[in-house]
Each structure stands twice: as C-alpha cells, then as structure tokens.
Structure 1
Amino acid sequence: MSKRKLNYEHCNQLVQDFEKVVDSPIKSKTSVYYTGVDLGTACVVLSVLDENYKPVAGAYRYADVVRDGMVVDYIGAIKIVKDLKKQLEEKLNTELIYAAAAIPPGTDALDSGAVKNVVMGAGFELTNVLDEPTAANKVLNIENGAVVDIGGGTTGITILKDGKVIYVADDSTGGTHFSLVISGSYKMTFQEAEVYKRKSENHKELLPVLRPVVEKIASIINEHIKDFDVNEIYLVGGTCRLNGIEEIIEKKTGISTHKPQNPMFVTPLGIALSCTQEVIE
C-alpha cells in the first residue's frame, strides 16, 4: 500500500469523525480542549479536539466577513466566532480556552493582526497562527508535493520537500469567482449562486460552466510550481468540493492531482492540530 493511500485513509477518517461530532458532540473527560478557528471567505469553521487531538465537536456558519482572504467585517467576524464558541461550549458543558488560527500564505504582514484580534476578541487565548496549506498538511502529512488550498477568495499553495515547507504563495482566485460565473450564466443573484454551487447534485451541470475558472486556477498552480520538482498535487478547501475539479487541474498541469473525500474540513482540523497551551502575544 502506498504512503499516499495511507495518508488519505487517515485524513478521510479524521474528517469523517469530525463530521459526526458536528452533529453529535462528544462530552469528554479531557483535561484540555484545542480549537481551530478557520476564518474563510465563504465559511467560518470551528473545530474542537480533545487532549489526544481527537475530534469532539465542531460548528460552522456561511458568512461574508472575509473577502479575498482579508477580514473586511471585523465586528461581524468576532460575533460569528463568539456565537459558535458559545454554541460549542453549551454542547460540551465547558469553556473553550485555547485556539489556533490560519491565514492565506504570505499575508501575515497584511492581515495576521486582524485574524489574531478576531480570535482573541471572541474570548480565546491564541496559541498559534500559521498559513492555511501548511495547516492542511497537519492532516495530510505529505512529505513531497504541493498542497493547494482553494478557498472562497484565494488559492494558497505550499510546496513541501522531505516534509519541510520550501515555498508558500497565495493568489486571489477561488470560489467567489465560481459564484460570479454562475450568477452571470444563470441570471441569479450572487447569494443564490453561492447556494446553488454547494449542492453536489448540480456539480455535473456546473463543471463545464466553471471549467475556465478551474483552468485559471490550474495556470496559477503551474506558475508557482514551475521552478520546483513537484510530482503530486493535493487539493483541499471548500471550493474543491466541486466534483471533477481534480481531473481538470491534473489535465492542465500534467501532474497527478488528488483530494480527500471532504476537502472543506481538512484545513480547520489542521489548525486545531496546531493548537497548544502556549499562548502567543
């Protein structure tokens, strides 16, 4: 059995476990809870792990407080994270103290302060801030290749060699562009298009419509990996839920492209796996 298959079995199992506790939280006797806060362009996700880093609870809410990877509604973002935190605390009958967060690659000088303040403003002690694809690799455990996190507003790329990050990049193309194309093609409002694309039964019909945007994302990936020896691409992020996206990217890049069963929750889980009890300033 290949190492890649083993990684995906572990990843898929972790995501499945998380999906279960989103619906049915586990009240644990754990000594500490670790929370991952993923402030996405389309969705805010909180994932909670126990002292053994096993999923025990989770919650998410579709929102419009982040745009192209940047916090644009600071107060709204705090309110959503605070609401989700309170919701999970009531279900677990405990206080959630420690949290980690993530940002698009290369944006730490621009927006990490805002993300930190949102998490702390919601009542968490912040223990870590890392870039999104690197967080995703906490779940994937990829040694070599490119982890590509296609979110609502941005596409983040992390290249790994021998388990070490050697390159990170971010580009403002993602699921928002899918929605804009759907809105124009189907004469829908943007919000209607957002809802329409989330339904998997629409994906077969939408794939030809969205192919130009997917090919643009593939071109972005090509541009960033051209100077590196990349033999595998691993897709994560909510936008990658589009059925068939991996096949278009593989054809355009000429590189084997893979994605887990539910790429939406990989990064939030990786963020939680990066949480500790050591508070940062």
Structure 2
Amino acid sequence: MFDTDIGIDLGTASILVYIKGKGVVLKEPSVVAIDRDTDTIRAIGEEARLMIGRTPGNIVAVRPLRQGVISNYSVTEQMIKYFIQKAVGKRSYKKPRISICVPSGATEVETKAVEDASFQAGAREVFIVEEPLAAAIGAGIDISKPCGNMVVDIGGGTTDIAVISLGATVESTSVKVAGDDFDDAIVRYMRKKHNLLVGERTAEEIKIGIGTCFKKTEVKKMEVRGRNLVTGLPKIIEVTSEEVEEALREATTQIVEAIHGVLENTPPELSADIAVRGIVLTGGGCLLDGLEELIESKTGINTMTAEDPMTAVAIGTGRYLEVMDEMNQEK
C-alpha cells in the first residue's frame, strides 16, 4: 500500500517527478541558491530561480547539473532529496523505487554519480534509464515492437537522438547543444550586433516570444531591455524574429547534423521504418518555433512533436519499469 514508484527527469533546466498512479506531480527549475558565507542552501527550485542575477554577493544561484550530468554532487543530492520529499510527502513508510534518466552519452562515472545521489536521497532501488528511451515511452511510442522509431529529445543541456527497436537503443548520439545554448547564442548575438548586454532570463524570453529557426514570411518583433555596452546605461531596442533565426542558426545546424549522423549509421530496415513513421521530437527545447520544418526540410522525413513534449521524459521514466515488466512477460 505504501510502496511508491517514482520517475525523475533529472534535467539541466528543470526537474520533473512522476509518481505511479498520479502522473507528473512536480515540475521545478533545477536551481539552488547557496549562501557562500555559511555554505548553506537558502532556496531550491522556483524560489531559487527567481534569485538568478538578482542576489547580493554572498548568495549565489547555481545549477548543480550541467549538460545533463552532475557538476556539483553534494548540492544535487540535497536537491533530489528535497524534490522527493516534496513529491511524496511524509506519509511514505517505505523507501521508494526510483527510475532516473541520464543522457545517452553519459559515462559510467557520470551514471554512477546519479545512482549514488539517488540512493543517498533515500531510494530503495535505483534504475538508470537512457533519456531517449524514456522520451519514446512518454511520447506514447510502442517500443516493444521490432520496428524503428526515431526520437530527438532536446532538453536544456543536451540533445539526445536515438533509434529504438525492441525496447533498446540501436543507434544513438548525445550532443551538448540544447535549450541553454539557444539562450547563450541570443546573448552573444545581442552583444555583438547591438552592443547590448542581456541576461539569461531576457534571452529566454526572446527565444519563447519571437524565437524561430526557420525563415517565415511573417516577421515578429519584440522590445528588449538591456545595458548598452558603450555608454553603460540601460537601453531598449527592437529585435525581429529574423535576427533570432540568424542567432540560433549555428546551434540548430549542429542538432540537424547530429540527426543526419544517426540516420547514416542506422541499419537499412530500420531506416525504412523511420521514413514511414517519421521523427518524434520531445523535450522543452523542441518547442522552438520552426524546428519541425527545419528538420523536415533537411532530412526529407516527416517530423512531429510529441503531445506533451515537456513531460514526456518524466512520464517515460516513471513508466519504464511497467513497460519492461510487460516486455519480459511477453517473452
């Protein structure tokens, strides 16, 4: 009765927690605010995100995960613990079984760090799931059949691309270009083109508001506030969607090239399946306007976005044990 199965999408930008029977119960930014003077944690999640770029010198808002892997072990451990307790509550008498996802290109050391952090945070058993596999399950793809499915999961820190058949990954790659890199590209472009210094949050607002990676007839515009690098004073300028497309071109080209690389190495029978079934996009980064059209124009393969791309990995991670049990029973 008190047995809990939890799926955690341990993302660079946000953490989602899925509980069997309840669905996704928690979605918060993976940000922790630390007091440098006392070396204590002041805030975790949304509360800490609001502090980014707005704190006094002694308090720093950090992301303990970089490009899908742990960069600060002790802080990650406390963050996982906090989110598990927040999701499960105090009622659980038994330690939960936790499925947690890692990028397909994660090394053994990186995977072990995630596993250890989960045990330290109070897990009874830990199952490591590859991100594209979780994304495919969460997107509603039947991975148990012997046919090729291609999933492109664009998160905050990494883009995972994989061809899946019979419940396993046949061909995959992980590139360290994703949502955060789109923001960085916008920051660099604004500095270079307009001599305007903008923060991470402003760059994200530009990306969500008028960001596109495919040239369209309709041009969107947006007012952007920042600091003029020449005068040092605040300044407001108007930015167009065409400029954002130019800023994001390099990053999106890298993702398309990685997709191309995986398709080149895919066995011919599975390639034929993908040509018919298409490419499925998941992850928050795939919400960038024009991405479907860009991939479709470069590969010639029908590309579609999963129904709820933001939660697909979390749902898939949570359902992973169920799906694997079903497949083993069928054997």
**TM-score grouping bracket, smaller chain normalisation:** 0.7 to 0.9
Gap change, CA 1:43 and 1:169, over 3 Å in 2: same
Which of the residues 174, 180, 195 maps onto 2:178? Answer: 174
TM-score (norm 1): 0.77
Which of the residues 192, 196, 201 maps onto 1:192? Answer: 201
Instruction: Note the alpha carbon deviations across 1:172-227, whole angstroms, 9 max, x for none.
Output: 2212210111111234455224642574x333534453233212211111012113
Q: How many correspondences in the alignment?
A: 242
- Mapping of 1:82-101 within 5 angstroms? 82-90=81-89, 93-94=91-92, 97-101=96-100
TM-score (norm 2): 0.66
Gap change, CA 1:49 and 1:163, over 3 Å in 2: closer
Instruction: Note the alpha carbon deviations across 1:122-161, whole angstroms, 9 max, x for none.
Output: 1122331121001111223254231111112221121124
Gap change, CA 1:121 and 1:164, over 3 Å in 2: closer
Instruction: Note the alpha carbon deviations across 1:25-50, whole angstroms, 9 max, x for none.
Output: xxxxx653321112211112212122
Give the Cα–Cα distance (whole angstroms) in 2 for the partners of residues 153 and 103 of structure 1. Answer: 11
The equivalent of 1:212 in structure 2 is 250
Larger RCO (CA within 8 A; separation ≥ 6): 1
Seq. identity, %:
24
Aligned residue type for 2:320: S
Point out the structure with the larger helix share: 1
1:148 aligns with 2:149: no
- Structure 2: gaps spanning 5 or more residues: 32-62, 191-195, 213-240, 323-331
8 Å CA contact 2:133–2:164 kept in 1: the answer is no
The equivalent of 1:202 in structure 2 is 210
Which of the residues 310, 314, 317 maps onto 1:264? Answer: 310
- Structure 1: gaps spanning 5 or more residues: 1-29, 277-281
1:222 aligns with 2:222: no
8 Å CA contact 1:250–1:257 kept in 2: the answer is yes
Q: Secondary structure at the match of 1:264?
A: coil
Point out the structure with the larger strand share: 2
8 Å CA contact 2:173–2:258 kept in 1: the answer is no
- Mapping of 1:37-76 within 5 angstroms? 37-50=8-21, 54-55=22-23, 57-63=25-31, 64-76=63-75
Gap change, CA 1:137 and 1:249, over 3 Å in 2: same
RMSD of equivalent CA atoms: 2.4
Give the Cα–Cα distance (whole angstroms) in 1 for the partners of residues 287 and 160 of structure 2. Answer: 16
